[in-house]
Structure 1
Amino acid sequence: MAKLRFGVIGWGYWGPKIARNLDSLPQASVAMVADLDERRLAPIHAHQPWIHTTTDVEELLHSDVDAVVVATPVKTHYRLAKEALLCGKHVLVEKPLTASVAEAEELVALAKEMNCVLMVGHTFEYSPAVNELRKLVQAGELGRIYCVETERLNLGLFRNDINVIWDLAPHDVSILLYLFGQLPEQVKVQAHAHLQANIHDIAHIDLGFADGMTSHIHVSWLHPCKVRRVTIIGDARMVVYDDTNPAEMIKVYNKGADVHADPVVSYRYGAITIPHIDWIEPLRLECEDFVNSILKGTSPRASGEVGVAVVRVLEAAQEALRQQAASMSVSVS
């Protein structure tokens, strides 16, 4: 069977990583790369001369590739993905899918009309560690979930086209939606722009869910340490997922507290369990899902509909900022 031919638009941070993983799959090959900066394409000429390169995106979109990867700034996602779908290409768009819910919904509808796969690069849905978390949640091992705290912090990388919410929070929002399968009912935001006017570099996002669960998302480009952590507090157990600690990525704590008449509060201190995780690069699993969805005509895990849901939460957070309402709740629906 002939390999699926892929075109990659954008050869910055994610483009080469996605291309490497696609090329590692037996059913796929990267045939073409487009980027506006010729200097970025020079290494491809030197080391992968069989890949056709161009600074003309239209050339790639109207070529004979089967599928297109859009790894460009967020503001270009809608236009490029729409044109690719209209050309009959299957499309993988880096997160977030678009800069608005209206644009995202239009792409989903267009993909269905064109009978094309539309997928979003929510890579953490393919992380073996996140899937271990999901098993714990779905099996009820943590009990009733009180709250989830996520932290995604580092010094940089600063952007001048989007704020930290649209840059980093898509990861945590997608993880939450994947783990719990529900949209929040309310969103509250506090955010600050310290280094660039009107581009927030630190943000705190509070989400409220129908079942009483709450979540706090902390994202920052202005932090001395790299932190990638998710903490889930349940009434039976608590779990910490630390993406920066590959040896002990998940720790399950048999800890908790109960309120009684006498004594008023009793505390439980049990064992700490570190489950074994068979690690596979999440981006490879993401690319496998994209390829298999094209070949089998199925919907990928990180589908366009998932992308719409994530953008819905981000747009609600952005609306709270627009209204300068740090303490105001904005409905997601």
Structure 2
Amino acid sequence: MTEKLRIAVVGAGYWGPNLARNFRGSPDWDLVAICDLDRDRAQALADKVGGARVVTDLAELLESDEIDAVAVATPARTHHAVARAALAAGKHVMVEKPLADTGERGQEMVAFAAEQGLVLMADHTYCYTPAVLKIRELIDEGALGDILFIDSVRINLGLIQPDVDVFWDLAPHDLSIIDFVLPGGLRPLSVSAQGADPLGSGKSCIGYLTLPLENGAIAHVHVNWLSPTKIRQMIIGGTRRTLVWDDLNPQQRLSVYDRGVDLELQNRDEADRRAATISYRLGDTWSPALPEREALGAMAAEFAASIHEKRPSRTDGEAGLRVLAVLEGATRSLDLGGAAVPPFDERILVGGLS
């Protein structure tokens, strides 16, 4: 049997307790420490998960030979400093979304992890849900055909964050999912963002992202902190079938529709599309059976497997960089009044992004 790995959770605020609970319950991990600047908060979490060493100083934690890895659940602006210190101490690192607060810092983290021969994993939690794993499987096996469009909606009456806009808060979920299910990852031709701040909060509270993809396909992401109704839905249309994911419908999270538009060219000359006739395909609808399991448990297992097998995780640092590139593109687009901008800043391009 593979020996258990030892992990510390850094950050006992909003997300840290979820990580601590899942690492405590994982057969692959021993949760040995909780690190937080607030000792009382760290102690409360340690007690809740059945006991763990409590540390308030990151340097003290990283000096320990009893830790193989750290899971970072601190504000995004601190991710680079915490992750780099852990990597420098020889620890494998998992970082909650987004990977960093800038693409340049994210790129430095990825490069340093590779230099040290350590695993750097992005905690793109949704990618480990049974529904998203099934979506990826269906796309990989060609059940949907060539992808034509992706339309994603993530809206609710949510907390207006003090340090980031709605794009950086909510869109990483949708972008990481799209990156995970598309063969080759999310590589848009451009990024256009439209944002609104009707409350005068100083940041976008409502946002729309438009991402043209290769071969004429397009992805669209709608995020909103101000909606009185909560919607988490993604529609992926292909040349063969269309898939609808409704994350708030536990009875039928996924629906696959054998319906769509068939374009039959009377004139095979691609330059003359007016010669085409359109027919509608009306077939069956079915819902794949999905296991019920917590995504964070699968994420913890993948982190351990990637370390033991000395391979990148399924949501590695490169995946985190692709998401960061779109987020930074959205910020640049907003500054330009919604104009389309290149998705990648040439200063932070690395091998996986070129």
Q: Do Structure 1 and Structure 2 share a fold, with TM-score over 0.5?
A: yes
Show the counterpart of 1:174: 176
How far apart are the structure 1 equivalents of 2:62 and 2:202? Answer: 34
Show the counterpart of 2:271: none
Cα separation, partners in 2 of 1:133 and 1:45, compared to 1, 3 Å: closer
Residue 231 (structure 1) aligned with residue 242 (structure 2): no
Summarize the alignment of residues 77-226 of structure 1 with structure 2, pairs less than 5 Å apart: 77-180=79-182, 181-182=184-185, 183-195=187-199, 197-226=201-230
Runs of 4+ in 1 over 6 A off after TM superposition: 260-263
Cα separation, partners in 2 of 1:26 and 1:233, compared to 1, 3 Å: closer
Cα separation, partners in 2 of 1:235 and 1:113, compared to 1, 3 Å: closer
Cα deviations by residue, 1:73-130 (Å, 9 ceiling, x for unpaired): 1111111111111111110000110111111111111111111110010112212211
Q: Which amino acid aligns with 1:277?
A: L
How far apart are the structure 2 equivalents of 1:112 and 1:144? Answer: 34
Q: Tell me if structure 1 keeps the 8 A contact 2:254–2:287.
A: yes
How far apart are the structure 1 equivalents of 2:51 and 2:162? Answer: 34
State the identity %.
40
How far apart are the structure 2 equivalents of 1:47 and 1:17? Answer: 11
How far apart are the structure 1 equivalents of 2:63 and 2:294? Answer: 31
Cα deviations by residue, 1:252-309 (Å, 9 ceiling, x for unpaired): 1121134568996433322211111123211111110111222222211111111111
How far apart are the structure 1 equivalents of 2:198 and 2:60? Answer: 41
Residue 303 (structure 1) aligned with residue 305 (structure 2): no
SS in 2 for 1:109: helix
Q: Tell me if structure 2 keeps the 8 A contact 1:152–1:219.
A: yes
Q: Gaps spanning 5+ residues in structure 1: where?
A: none
Cα deviations by residue, 1:118-153 (Å, 9 ceiling, x for unpaired): 001011221221121122222222233221100111
SS in 2 for 1:306: helix
Residue 250 (structure 1) aligned with residue 254 (structure 2): yes
Cα separation, partners in 2 of 1:14 and 1:259, compared to 1, 3 Å: same
How far apart are the structure 2 equivalents of 1:75 and 1:239? Answer: 36
TM-superposed deviation, 1:3: 3.1
Cα deviations by residue, 1:50-91 (Å, 9 ceiling, x for unpaired): 411122222223223111111011111111111111111110
**Higher mean C-alpha displacement, 139-148 vs 198-207:** 139-148
Cα separation, partners in 2 of 1:72 and 1:194, compared to 1, 3 Å: farther
Residue 273 (structure 1) aligned with residue 275 (structure 2): no
Q: Tell me if structure 2 keeps the 8 A contact 1:33–1:60.
A: no
* TM-score under structure 2 length normalisation: 0.88
SS in 1 for 2:26: coil
SS in 2 for 1:143: coil
Q: Tell me if structure 1 keeps the 8 A contact 2:72–2:95.
A: yes
Q: Tell me if structure 1 keeps the 8 A contact 2:145–2:240.
A: yes
Cα deviations by residue, 1:22-68 (Å, 9 ceiling, x for unpaired): 11122311111111233422423544574111222222232231111
SS in 1 for 2:188: coil
Q: Gaps spanning 5+ residues in structure 2: where?
A: 267-274, 345-354
How far apart are the structure 2 equivalents of 1:268 and 1:103? Answer: 48
Cα separation, partners in 2 of 1:232 and 1:49, compared to 1, 3 Å: closer
Cα separation, partners in 2 of 1:139 and 1:110, compared to 1, 3 Å: same
Q: Tell me if structure 2 keeps the 8 A contact 1:160–1:199.
A: no
SS in 2 for 1:152: strand
How far apart are the structure 2 equivalents of 1:329 and 1:263? Answer: 31
* TM-score under structure 1 length normalisation: 0.93
Q: Which amino acid aligns with 1:66?
A: D
Q: Which amino acid aligns with 1:34?
A: C
Task: Give the superposed CA RMSD.
Answer: 2.0
Q: Which amino acid aligns with 2:314?
A: R
Cα separation, partners in 2 of 1:34 and 1:195, compared to 1, 3 Å: farther
